[in-house]
Structure 1
Amino acid sequence: MIVEITDYGDENNQKFVEYTVSGLSSNQMKFLSDNLKDKTTIEDDVFKLKMYFSDELYPFQSDIAKFKLADFIAREEIEMNMFLSSFLEDM
């Protein structure tokens, strides 16, 4: 499974992060789509997840994120990979 952050920012006064996940089977994508509360789509064997955050919980608001953005994005991608992997264990 490969997780990439493909977009983040503000949308309609809400903070969001969009993840693109490749390397999943169709059964895994369907399971995630059916069981995650956040906005999900499946396009051309790619699973997309868009999560909305309150200002307090938005991961890209910290000072560290502003100065070391590439490192921060990589860490967020690893954390989402771990979250989805553990979520898929329930499949």
Structure 2
Amino acid sequence: MIVNIVDYGQSGEKNFVTYEVLGLLPEQLNYLHDNLDEETSLEDNHLRLTMHFSPDLYPFQSDVAKIRIDDFIAREELEMNVFLSSFLEDM
């Protein structure tokens, strides 16, 4: 599984991060799409997942994140990969 952050920021008063998930079987993609509570869509053999965060939990809010954004993006991608992998274990 490959997880990439394709967008992040603020929309209105909500902070969001949009992930693209690649390298899964169609059954796995459908399982995630059907069972995750977050906003999801299926597009050309990949899943788009958008998570909304309160200001205090938003991963890119700190000054350090703004300076070392690549490190923060890589960490978020790894954390989402671990989360989705554990979620798929229930499949």
TM-score interval w.r.t. the shorter chain? over 0.9
Q: Give % identity.
A: 58
Structure 2: any 5+ residue segments left out of the alignment? none
Q: Does 1:79 align with 2:84?
A: no
What amino acid does structure 1 have at the position aligned with 2:53? F
Aligned twin of 2:42: 42
- Which residues in structure 2 correspond to 1:9-88 (within 5 Å)? 9-88=9-88
TM-score (norm 2): 0.96
Report deviation, 1:63.
2.3
Q: Which runs of 4+ in 1 moved over 6 A?
A: none
- The total of aligned residue pairs comes to 91
Query: Mind listing any 5+ residue stretches in structure 1 that lack a counterpart?
Result: none
Write the distance in 1 (CA, Å) between the matches of 2:12 and 2:68: 26
